[in-house]
């Protein structure tokens, strides 16, 4: 187990270097430091000298390989550096400010989605083959087919405008934040519901047809126990895999959701950085995203081994 | 004579399939006395496993359903019971073991949990008593270190050991009837003999009745008191084991016995029964065996033979054997 973890962490080093390299190459394919310099100095109609100074100040005048080594080394040591923008604030400071709104919304929608989707999937699986199952599954397909934007705008219109139950957009710190988080969480849960319920239902039904279910029934175990004990524990394994995809989202937030609801989270920070070609911020955020994703997968593997005793981490 | 423990009468279990109505079990009748072991023998697709599942009422739903018939157990018709009433009989009075020991145990629960669950469900044994009994059951079915096995997961055991665990689960509540659905088919030959001997010994020790489903006529003589031969959803011949093996009546039974390797026919090529069981959606008209039968007559193509008794303990479904009235007149009345 310990050996496995060490090996996985070592494997993640080349992955992270690869991520940094790709970000670096992609960045230079779309923008040059001169353009960035112009953008950030534009108000003063910069001279060639000013641009040179700016490039020097931000390290863009060094040879490309030197830049890559320097920035990558900084990221690995979690020295995220300063933004390329005029203010030049520390990236770490901004992350510390904006991780909480993202985390709050992601954590709430993650737990709500898992609980609701799993319960609904259990219900339709229990009533498999009945009209409830057929209509439920059809509704799932319908919900899957509607685009995310409809849920966002529709939710804002109905809850924010018509019913005036929640603010349309924005965010405030503290307990007040729950009022602002409500609508994004509902939209996140509803938009993912169709696909998840259908997928979880399939996981359940796959397990329902297994021989051990027949054995449990032959022992006289009740249907509820068969479903909630025998089937659920086995179906938890594929449910875990699909759910772990949400873990990076817990930190980076849903980019679309945050920009539409104007939530000052990490997703919004990343979108702003991309729009203003703030390479220092983009590379830091991409690196952290990769780090969190790798961490999430390691976490899944550990939870596999906890649920399914056939899995051994070696 | 004791009243039978289990009496199945004209059982019909059908399935709705895309190919049409599948009459998997089509009019099966037999009786099993307390303490008796009966074997149901037949090829794949003859309906023998579905017969056993029908008794448990675990026929795969919603495709499968019991069309008609009665299943009297201790004088009560199991088909009249609600699901909850039937649940209290499953695993307590009637237990079942299956063909696939590799997949029949739940992979994510320990052996101890799964044996204890069988007892806790019915409340006959609780707490420490259940644990102690799980331990002694594992010992009884021949597991070497029961303490260790109780804490193990199914994947840590071999196929033969898993089947022993299944037997331990089945015996947990001292059932009156054990349904064994091809319990040795998936196992190595040496293990097969061990499991069969174990089942026979357990049946003798506990005095339960046993219904052994098998496609292997060779193993029934070791275990069974009587044998029912199934073909195409029907029982074609029923007889005490010794009589059936030494003097088979139905041409199908004769074919099955002739295809067994035997010392007396050493050196000769083994007999092969040509053809396969027809699909249960399209049983042939007349006698269902007629197109594979070596003694086919004109009447076999058109008219289905009825079951006639040949002595008190024997019956056969074949036009070669005279009608029931004719036979009963030859037999002395008791």
Whether A48 shows a pLDDT value over 70: the answer reads yes
Instruction: Please report which confidence band the pLDDT of residue B330 belongs to, taking 50, 70 and 90 as the band edges.
Output: very low
Per-residue model confidence as pLDDT tens digits over A72-130: 888 888 888 888 776 778 888 888 888 888 888 888 888 999 999 999 998 888 888 78
Instruction: Please report which confidence band the pLDDT of residue B214 belongs to, taking 50, 70 and 90 as the band edges.
Output: very high
In this predicted model, which residue has the larger pLDDT, A271 or B96? B96
Whether B90 shows a pLDDT value over 70: the answer reads yes
Contacts of B155 in chain A (CB under 8 A): 309-310
Contact flag A233-B89 (C-beta cutoff 8 Å): no
Spatial separation of the C-alpha atoms in residues A287 and A266, rounded to whole Å: 13
**A101-278 is classed CATH 1.10.510.10:** no
Per-residue model confidence as pLDDT tens digits over B217-244: 888 888 999 999 999 999 999 999 999 9
**Number of residues in chain A:** 314
In this predicted model, which residue has the larger pLDDT, A36 or B114? B114
Q: Does B100 touch chain A (CB under 8 A)?
A: yes
Tokens standing for B95? 């237990």
Spell out the long-range contacts of A59-63 with Cβ–Cβ below 8 A and sequence spacing 24 or more.
Answer: A60/A33, A60/A36, A61/A33
Contact flag A215-B56 (C-beta cutoff 8 Å): no
pLDDT value for B329: 37
Tokens standing for B77? 């018709």
Spatial separation of the C-alpha atoms in residues B93 and B127, rounded to whole Å: 21
Q: Does B66 touch chain A (CB under 8 A)?
A: no
Instruction: Return phi, psi of residue B95, to 5°.
Output: -115, 160
Q: Does B153 touch chain A (CB under 8 A)?
A: yes
Q: Does B105 touch chain A (CB under 8 A)?
A: yes
Question: How many Cβ atoms are within 10 Å of A211's Cβ, its own excluded?
Answer: 16
Spatial separation of the C-alpha atoms in residues A235 and A227, rounded to whole Å: 10
Question: How many Cβ atoms are within 10 Å of B297's Cβ, its own excluded?
Answer: 12
Q: Chain A: residue nearest B84 by CA?
A: A222
Spatial separation of the C-alpha atoms in residues A86 and A160, rounded to whole Å: 36
Contacts of A218 in chain B (CB under 8 A): 56, 58, 90-91, 95-96, 98
Tell me how close the Cα of B118 comes to any Cα of chain A, in angstroms: 5
What is the pTM (predicted TM-score) of this model?
0.81
Look at the block and give the residue holding tokens 């359903």.
B65
Spatial separation of the C-alpha atoms in residues B78 and B5, rounded to whole Å: 12
Whether A246 shows a pLDDT value over 80: the answer reads no
Per-residue model confidence as pLDDT tens digits over B146-187: 999 999 999 999 999 999 999 999 999 999 999 999 998 888
Per-residue model confidence as pLDDT tens digits over A188-232: 899 889 989 999 999 999 998 899 999 999 999 998 899 889 999
What is the interface pTM, i.e. ipTM, of the complex?
A: 0.88
Contact flag B108-A211 (C-beta cutoff 8 Å): no
Instruction: Please report which confidence band the pLDDT of residue B331 belongs to, taking 50, 70 and 90 as the band edges.
Output: very low
Asked if A90 contacts A97 with a C-beta cutoff of 8 angstroms, the reply is: no
């Amino acid at each position: 187990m310990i050996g496995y973890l060490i090996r996985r962490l070592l494997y993640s080093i080349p992955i992270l270097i690869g991520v940094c390299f790709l970000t670096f190459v992609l960045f230079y394919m779309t923008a040059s430091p001169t353009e960035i310099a112009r953008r950030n100095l534009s108000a003063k109609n910069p001279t060639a000298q000013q641009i040179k100074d700016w490039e020097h100040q931000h390290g863009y005048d060094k040879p490309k390989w030197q830049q890559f080594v320097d920035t990558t080394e900084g990221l690995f040591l979690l020295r995220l550096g300063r933004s390329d923008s005029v203010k030049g604030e520390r990236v770490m400071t901004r992350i510390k400010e904006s991780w909480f709104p993202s985390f709050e919304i992601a954590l709430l929608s993650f737990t709500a989605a898992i609980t609701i989707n799993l319960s609904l999937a259990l219900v339709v699986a229990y009533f498999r083959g009945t009209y409830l199952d057929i209509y439920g599954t059809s509704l799932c397909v319908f919900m899957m087919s509607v685009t995310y934007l409809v849920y966002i705008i529709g939710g804002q219109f109905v809850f924010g405008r018509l019913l005036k139950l929640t603010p349309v957009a924005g965010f405030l710190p503290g307990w007040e934040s729950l009022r602002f988080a409500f609508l994004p969480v509902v939209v996140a849960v509803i938009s993912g519901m169709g696909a998840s319920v259908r997928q979880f239902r399939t996981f359940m039904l796959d397990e329902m047809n297994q021989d051990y279910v027949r054995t449990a029934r032959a022992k006289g175990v009740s249907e509820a126990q068969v479903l909630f004990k025998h089937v659920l524990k086995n179906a938890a394994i594929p449910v875990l895999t699909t759910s772990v995809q949400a873990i990076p989202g817990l930190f980076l937030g849903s980019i679309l959701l945050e920009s539409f609801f104007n939530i000052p989270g990490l997703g919004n920070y990343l979108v702003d950085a991309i729009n203003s070609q703030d390479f220092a911020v983009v590379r830091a955020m991409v690196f952290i995203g990769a780090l969190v994703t790798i961490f999430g997968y390691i976490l899944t593997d550990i939870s596999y081994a906890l649920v399914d005793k056939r899995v051994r981490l070696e | 004579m004791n009243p039978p423990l289990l009496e199945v009468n004209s059982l019909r279990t059908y399935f709705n399939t895309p190919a049409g109505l599948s009459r998997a079990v089509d009019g099966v009748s037999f009786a099993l006395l307390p303490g008796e072991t009966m074997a149901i023998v037949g090829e794949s697709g003859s309906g023998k496993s579905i017969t056993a599942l029908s008794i448990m009422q675990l026929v795969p739903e919603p495709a499968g359903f019991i069309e008609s018939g009665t299943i009297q157990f201790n004088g009560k018709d199991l088909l009249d019971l609600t699901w909850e009433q039937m649940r209290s009989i499953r695993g307590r009075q009637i237990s079942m073991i299956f063909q696939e020991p590799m997949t029949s145990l739940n992979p994510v629960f320990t052996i101890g949990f799964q044996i204890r669950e069988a007892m806790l469900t019915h409340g006959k044994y609780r707490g420490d008593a259940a644990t102690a009994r799980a331990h002694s059951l594992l010992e009884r079915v021949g597991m070497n270190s029961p303490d260790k096995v109780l804490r193990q997961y199914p994947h840590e055991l071999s196929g033969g050991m898993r089947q022993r665990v299944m037997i331990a689960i089945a015996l947990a509540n001292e059932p009156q009837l054990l349904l064994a659905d091809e319990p040795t088919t998936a196992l190595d030959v040496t293990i097969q003999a061990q499991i069969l001997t174990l089942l026979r010994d357990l049946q003798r020790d506990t005095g339960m009745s046993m219904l052994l489903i098998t496609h292997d006529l060779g193993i029934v003589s070791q275990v069974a008191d009587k044998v029912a031969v199934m073909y195409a959803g029907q029982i074609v011949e029923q007889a005490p084991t010794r009589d059936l093996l030494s003097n088979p009546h139905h041409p199908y039974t004769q074919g099955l016995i002739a295809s067994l390797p035997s010392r007396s026919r050493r050196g000769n090529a083994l007999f092969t029964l040509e053809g396969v069981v027809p699909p249960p959606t399209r049983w042939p008209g007349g006698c269902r065996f007629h197109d594979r039968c070596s003694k086919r007559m004109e009447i076999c193509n058109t008219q289905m033979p009825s079951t006639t008794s040949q002595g008190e303990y024997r019956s056969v479904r074949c036009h070669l054997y005279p009608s029931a009235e004719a036979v009963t007149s030859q037999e002395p009345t008791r």
